[in-house]
Chains A and B, each alone.
Chain A
């Protein structure tokens, strides 16, 4: 058995394997103390450190060297030390810095959520809802790019990109021949193929799943429906290329989208192939496993009243239960 180290995050102590990052340790604890992550992706080596949304304060370095770290650190890339104490939501400094990062991420974002296919499952949307301020102080023209097709199934809308590099790591690590990358520098940097080139690869569609915003979207799903009106169902098929384990997104009887299965942090469980994603859109193609569990905070779960209603507090607090008796009976009947 490998060595365990003790780390305390926002007052909650946990033992984790040596070498674990603060973010992973926080995810093992779960709940509100998990820092948000826009660029880190546990399945992609080398990812993280860039977006700065997961910054936390290390108020005690370790048992051996208790000095606090001089600056906020990226929790996704900082390894825990035995006895380390970390402040996330208990540190006003962290909250302020995070608010600043969200503002920075938004100043050049088009805020075209009403017409964005990612709306409802967009991490930037969630992040700004939870950590941003309601008004922007940015009064200049926003950076824009033309939409381009990279292949016939994937659209790149660079204007929305937050340069998390996830799609680049994905292409590097799960495909043979990466043809897109980050070009230019500073705020002129962009995801591009440089010369117009289609991304032809059995696994290229995964860039859609790893994209935290609506910069890379599924053309076969474009404007088909808002994600919160679709019902996610887990299914699998015997696929020669990938595991074949997917989530089907239903609108009525029709499968209108296929994605990999994503956990509560938006990370895929397993990457899937393009055949599963783009070509198998009939229920007959699949063995249905059952409804996909969606985290309560997601608007997608709005369709899953059985999970949300009544709110847990109504179930447990007798006074509230009494006060909301009528609603409680109505919702539990459904």
Chain B
């Protein structure tokens, strides 16, 4: 069994209440930080832990914190990003539902480290039940003296509020989230300036994912070095993986980074294999934005090494043969799933969620969706496949925010690895309407890489 740092007490009855959470050692991190550490010490511990942003980008949290500008006379803000909307990702919802005080505790510790006296937890509006849960938890924490003025006599003040979103995936992008929190349309800002210099209300701001904030609690309790001992290389600590799709046991799992992908899918400790005795066809390993990989590439790298659940191993091979850990939204597809249909579905999502501010994304996402729809419904042309690749390239890297890339990658990667399935939809349109392409060769062992020798 891997170590559980976030979900250790998840099955304890009443852990969502302050009382039980406290009994189980909750709010020790707040006591430790406020009574015995300076804000700089807390930042240092988080740096030492090697914690990387759990929302998707994987940027080192401690380094992000150290970029925060500290001008005189200007407040600083910590905003927690609970806008979880990446298809395949539902870990933050799980955490907020079942162990809300872990997030509150993390918010207090992190706000103290950053010198923020007002912090916001931005939660997507659809998670109204979680918003209620957090509001209740905040009230309990405040009642117990962990929020408000002069917390634990340390002189540190903190007010914590929950802000609902309104239904927009783009608000998971930190500057769009800030705009939304200011009561505006969720149009991402043009950077620079970065939020660390000018964010919420033009003040220095840090935006962190729910899981990143929660992870600061075990980091402070056990020390950054202890945390960094878990995992492999620069992938330290534990990560919540949201497993969904055609799995025997979908759900949220806390893994030590470094678990082999194969073990994660098939072992009884985690997903328990593919549902209904089917075979695995493909995996989206880090939320819908990251490249989809066929079975043979997700289980092993091109060099024949076992692929691990780490930032580095999943990215091994670059976009040619690798993918990304992203937000840890792990979607498994069995042999009955149609990759063209799935790509069209994702494409519709990005089309629907594009904010419309910059032209390549606004126009390109809709264009890709229409072409994919045509392919899926048997009216495609072979040239459509190259057209999609080209349109995705015209979007990728040319937009204000990463949504353009996120829309381009699933399409480009699906064609890269499943091109014959796309072609089959064009050459056998009638058949494609009645059955799926199936597993084909996507799980076949990869040919050995032949060493290239100079002649």
Contacts and interface: CB of A to CB of B under 8 A. Distances in A.
Direct touch of chains A and B (CB < 8 A): yes
Interface stretch (A69-77, A218-226, A254-262): A69-77
Nearest to B394: A100
Interface in A106-158: 107-108, 137-138, 140
Interface stretch (B63-71, B106-114, B142-150, B361-369): B361-369
A79 B351 CA distance: 31
Nearest to A48: B190
A80 interface: no
Contacts of A100: 360, 393-395, 398
A1 interface: no
Nearest to A99: B394
Interface string B362-378: 11111100100000000
B152 interface: no
Contacts of A71: 397-398
Contacts, number: 87
Nearest to B170: A185
B387 A163 contact: no
A52 B190 CA distance: 11
Interface in B107-151: none
A186 B366 contact: yes
A182 B356 CA distance: 10
Interface residues of B, number: 29
Interface residues of A, number: 32
B398 A187 contact: no
B248 interface: no
Interface string B171-209: 000000000000001000010100000000000000000
Contacts of A22: none
A162 B359 contact: yes
Contacts of B357: 50, 163
A97 B397 CA distance: 9
B452 to A, nearest CB: 29
Contacts of A29: none
A162 B356 CA distance: 10
Given A52-B399, A186-B352, A186-B354, A103 B387 contact: no
A55 to B, nearest CB: 6
13 contacts: A49-B358, A52-B358, A52-B399, A53-B359, A72-B398, A77-B190, A100-B398, A101-B398, A104-B394, A140-B367, A186-B353, A186-B355, A187-B354
Interface of B: 168, 185, 190, 192, 351-360, 362-367, 370, 387, 393-395, 397-400
Given A52-B358, A100-B394, A186-B356, 14 more contacts: A49-B400, A50-B357, A50-B358, A52-B399, A74-B400, A100-B395, A101-B394, A104-B364, A105-B363, A138-B367, A163-B356, A185-B185, A186-B355, A186-B365
